[in-house]
Structure 1
Amino acid sequence: MTNLEKKRVVVTGLGAITPIGNNLTEYWEGLLSGRNGIGLITLFDPSRHVCRIAGEVKGYDPHEYMDRKEAKRMDRFAQFGVSASKQALADAQFEINDLNAEQVGVLIGTGVGGLKVLEDQQEIYLTRGPDRCSPFMIPMMISNMAAGLTAIHTGAKGPNSCTVTACAAGSHAVGDAFRLVQRGYAQAMICGGTEAAVTPLSLAGFAAARALSTRNETPEVACRPFDVARDGFVMGEGSGILLLEELEHAKSRGARIYGEIVGYGMTCDAHHMTSPVPGGEGAARAMQLAMKDAGLSPEQVNYINAHGTSTPANDSTETAAIKRALGEQAYKVAISSTKSMTGHLLGGSGGIEAVACVMVVAKDQVPPTINLENPDPACDLDYVPNYSRPMNVEVALSNSFGFGGHNVTLVFKKYRQEA
C-alpha cells in the first residue's frame, strides 16, 4: 500500500484510570505535579511478601460506569478497561449508533487478564470443591474480555481484538488500532491497555524473579528509574484508552483533535525470556522503524516517554537503545519515565503512557521522572528529573518493552492541517 492510500489518524478522546487519578484531568495534573501513586498494598494483606508496595487505583467506583450486576461479573482489569473507554468516548463527544457501529472497533491489550478471579476460584476449588466454582470464572478471567465487554457496553461492532504481549500489550493495541484506521478497516478505534495484577500470586511471582523493589518502608521513593540506587520495579494497576479516528471523519463532525499518531514500530529481541538484549538492539530497531514509518528523522523528535521500569537491566539498556536509534539527538531530547509516579501497569502501561504522550504533544508540558537523585553513570541522558518542564513538543515517542523480547514504539505528532 502506498503512502497516498494511507489515511491520517488522529486522537480525539482520552480516558485514564490510574494510581494518580481516575480521569484524564486528575491523571495529567498528577503527572505534571510529580504526584506519587505508590504506597503500601491495601487490596490484600501483603505481610507475607518480600515486596509489600504497589501503585493501587484509589477511590475508584465501578458503579459510576456500570450497574452492580455487570460489575460483579467483571474482573477488575475489565472494569478498568470499560470505564476508561467510556471516558474516552465521552471526552471525544463520540456517539456510537446504528449508523456507525460497524465502523467503530475495540482493541485493548493486557498482560495477564483476570488473575484475581483465577486466584479466588482456585481457592474455592481447593476448599469447597469443583462444583462450587463460578460459571462466570472463564469469561471473567480470559484476557480478551476487556475488549469484548467494552464493545458490549458501547455498541462498537467493528474490528475487535486483544493483544497479550506482556508489558508491550497496551502499545501493541494502540499500534494495531492505528493500522486498522490508517488502512480503512475502521473509522474509529477504542484502544489502549488495562491491568489489575496487584494480587498475591502475581506479587509472589515477580518477587521470586527478583524483579520488584523491596523499599517497603519508603514506598514514595521506591520507583526511581535511571537512578543508581534503583532496585526493581513497582507494580501498578489501571487503564489508559485512546479514541483514534480517521482525520476526515473527525473533521466532519467538528471533533477536537489532541494530536496525530503517525508511526508504529515493533520488533523482537529473540534473546531471553525476561532480559533485554545487551545494547538494546531490538528496542533501537523499534524506534527506528517507528520513525521511518512516520517519515521523521531523529532530529525531529522532542520527547520520549521511556519504558523506564526502574530495574537495573532495563534502564541502562533503554538508554543505550535511545543512543543507538537517535545518535547525537539522544542528548538533546527530553526523556521521562512516568512509571516513577504510577508504578508499572504491565500490559496497561502502554495505554496510560500513550495518553501521557498525546497530552505532552497537545499541551507542550513534559512530565518529570521523580526520585531521580543520583543518575546511574550508564544513564546519562536528559530524564527531566523531579520537575515538569514547559517546552514545545512537535514529536513524541512512547516506548514499551515486554517479557519475551517484545519491543514497541509509537510516534505522536502535533496535528497540522497539512501533513
Structure 2
Amino acid sequence: MKTIGCFSYNFLLKTRELEGNEAPVLHCNGLRLVENRPMDSSRHGPNGFICSSTQKERAVRAMASPTVSAPKREKDPKKRVVITGMGLVSVFGNDVDTFYNKLLEGESGIGLIDRFDLSDWEVQIAGQIHGFVSKGYIDGKNNRRLDNCWKYCLLAGKRALEDANLGPEVLKTMDRSKIGVTVGSAFGGSEVFSDGVETLFFEGVKKVKPLTIPYSLTNMGSALLAIDSGLMGPTYAISAACATANHCFYAAANHIRRGEAKIMVAGGTEAGIVPYVIGGFIACQALSKRNDEPQKASRPWDKERDGSVLGEGSGVLIMESLEHARKRGAKIIAEYLGGAITCDAYHVTTPHPDGLGLSTCITRSLEDAGISPEEVNYVNANAPSTLVGDISEVNAIKKVFKDTSEMKMNATKSMIGHGLAAAGGLEAIATIKAITTGWLHPTINQYNLEPEVTIDTVPNRKKEHEVHVGDFDFSNVRVFNRSELLPLPLVLR
C-alpha cells in the first residue's frame, strides 16, 4: 500500500480570558509553557487555529522556541481561511461529539460485514456503518435511489452547514455564487456502478437504470449537495484515492484565497464496502485477514499487523475567509494555514521506505504555513496498519521533527478502519476534537510495538495532553499524488 496523502493540523490549546480587544497568546519555550501575555496584533498571522465555544472570535498565534525564527505568516483576513463548521457520517454515528467520545473510549467500530455473503472469502471484516438514518436531510425518493456514498456526503455536508449556521433560510439571504463545494470520492457510487454492470450483463441494456452513469461519477456528491443547497460557486470533486479529502481542502482554501469563493464546503466521502472493492483489495493483499477477531485487526505500528481494514463514511468542513466569517458573526472553530503537494515517484503500491516524498511534503507544508517543526508536539498519523506504510511514515516524521521526545502520535484508523476518500475528513475532525478537549484518543491494539517507533503512540488508553502545536500527518493509500494540508494552532475560548 502506498502512503501518499499528508495532512497536518497545528493547534494551540489554552489562553487566559481576553481583556478588552486584546488577543491572547500562549508563549512556549519549545514545548514548555513560559508565560501568557497579550499578543502584538501587528505581528499576528494565520499560524494558529482558532477554536470557539462562543460567537465571539479570538485570534491566537503559536510561538516557536526563542532560538527558532518563526516563518512569515499570512495577515490579510481576505486570504486567511477559517473552519466554521464540521459534519460527519461514521461507524459511530453522525454526531461529531459522539464520534470523538467513542474514540476516546477506545471503542472499535470494526466487525463482520453483513451486507453480502463473504463466508468463503479470506477477508470478511470492515468498519461498516449500520443503522444509517438520513431522515430530515434526504427526501424519500433520493434515499431509495442514491448510492450510500452520496447519502453520506449529503448528510455530512448539511450537518456541517448547520454547524456553521448556514441553514437553508440563512443561505437564501447570501450570495450563493460565492459558496462552492468540493467533496471528493475515490470510488464514487460504487454500488450503483456495480449494480449497473451486473444488470447489463445478466438482463441486458434495456434494464440499466437511467441514472446509473450520473450516480456513479465521483463528482456527484458535490453536485447533489450544491443542487440541494443552491450553492453556485466552484463545485466539483477531486478523486485522488485516499488523499482525496486532503486535496479538496487544499483546493477549497485556494479558491477562497484567490477571491473566487467566500465559503467552500470541502471533504471526502466513501462507501466502498461492496464486493468488487473488497475483492480488489484482497487481490492486492492489502487487507487484514483477522476475521476471528475483527476489533483487533487494525494494529498500527504493531509487529503483528497484517494489513488495513476498510472503513466508510464522510467528513466535511466548512471553510470560509476570515473576513467573511467575522462579518456574519460566525463561530470560528479553526484556521487553515497552507499546504503542499508532492509525489514519491517510487512505486504504484509501495511507499518509499525512507518516507522521502512524505517528508518533503511535510517540510513544504510547514514552510507554507509558517510553522516551525519545533512547535509540533502532537501527530495524528495515517498509520494504515500496513507493513511498509507504517514504518515509512514514522521515518518521514523523524526526518522532519528531529526531537520527538515530547511528541504524542496516535492512529484513528485503529478504531474506524481506513475510510479511503473519507479518511482525511474524519481524521481532520478527530484532530480538531483532540485539541478542543485536551484529550488524545488511544491507538488501540498496541501489543508489540515496532522498535523503530520511538514516539509515544498513546497505546490503548486515552491521554490528557496540552497540545502546543499538533501535526495531522495523514498518509493514505494512493498511487500518484501526495497531499498535505496544514491548518494552524487552536485555542479554546
1:107 Cα deviation after fit = 0.8
Superposed counterparts of 1:67-216, under 5 Å = 67-94=139-166, 95-216=170-291
Verify the 8 A CA contact 1:234 1:343 in the aligned structure 2: yes
1:254 Cα deviation after fit = 2.0
1:411 Cα deviation after fit = 1.9
Verify the 8 A CA contact 1:275 1:405 in the aligned structure 2: no
**Tell me, what secondary structure is at the counterpart of 1:356?**
helix
Given the alignment, which residue of 423, 428, 436 partners 1:349? 423
1:405 Cα deviation after fit = 3.7
TM-score (norm 2): 0.81
Alignment size in residue pairs: 416
Residue identity in the other structure for 1:375: L
Superposed counterparts of 1:8-407, under 5 Å = 8-94=80-166, 95-328=170-403, 330-398=404-472, 399-407=474-482
Identity %: 38
Matched residues in 2 for 1:413 and 1:352: separation? 18
1:323 Cα deviation after fit = 0.6
Superposed counterparts of 1:403-418, under 5 Å = 403-415=478-490
1:250 Cα deviation after fit = 1.4
Output the aligned Cα RMSD: 1.8
Matched residues in 2 for 1:54 and 1:242: separation? 25
Verify the 8 A CA contact 1:394 1:413 in the aligned structure 2: no
Matched residues in 1 for 2:330 and 2:234: separation? 22
Matched residues in 1 for 2:140 and 2:356: separation? 48
1:2 Cα deviation after fit = 8.0
Matched residues in 1 for 2:114 and 2:261: separation? 41
Per-residue CA deviations over 1:102-161 (Å, capped at 9, x if unaligned) read 111111121111111111111111211111000010011000001111101111111112
Verify the 8 A CA contact 1:96 1:104 in the aligned structure 2: no
1:374 Cα deviation after fit = 1.0
Q: Which has the larger radius of gyration?
A: 2
Matched residues in 2 for 1:263 and 1:314: separation? 25
Question: Could you list the runs of 4 or more consecutive aligned residues of structure 1 that deviate by over 6 angstroms after TM superposition?
Answer: none
Matched residues in 1 for 2:228 and 2:125: separation? 33
Change (3 A) 1:394 1:190: farther
Matched residues in 2 for 1:261 and 1:35: separation? 30
Unaligned runs of 5+ in 2: 1-72
Verify the 8 A CA contact 2:77 2:322 in the aligned structure 1: no
Residue identity in the other structure for 2:128: E
Matched residues in 2 for 1:2 and 1:352: separation? 27
Per-residue CA deviations over 1:327-349 (Å, capped at 9, x if unaligned) read 22x34321111000110011110
Matched residues in 2 for 1:365 and 1:2: separation? 29
Matched residues in 1 for 2:270 and 2:74: separation? 36
Residue identity in the other structure for 1:345: G
Q: Which moved more, 1:50-59 or 1:20-29?
A: 20-29
Change (3 A) 1:416 1:341: closer
Verify the 8 A CA contact 2:245 2:424 in the aligned structure 1: yes
Matched residues in 2 for 1:294 and 1:369: separation? 28
Matched residues in 2 for 1:64 and 1:407: separation? 37
1:48 Cα deviation after fit = 2.7
Verify the 8 A CA contact 1:257 1:415 in the aligned structure 2: no
Residue identity in the other structure for 1:341: M
Matched residues in 1 for 2:116 and 2:466: separation? 43
Of structures 1 and 2, the one scoring higher in RCO (CA 8 A, sep 6+) is 2
Matched residues in 2 for 1:241 and 1:97: separation? 21
TM-score (norm 1): 0.95
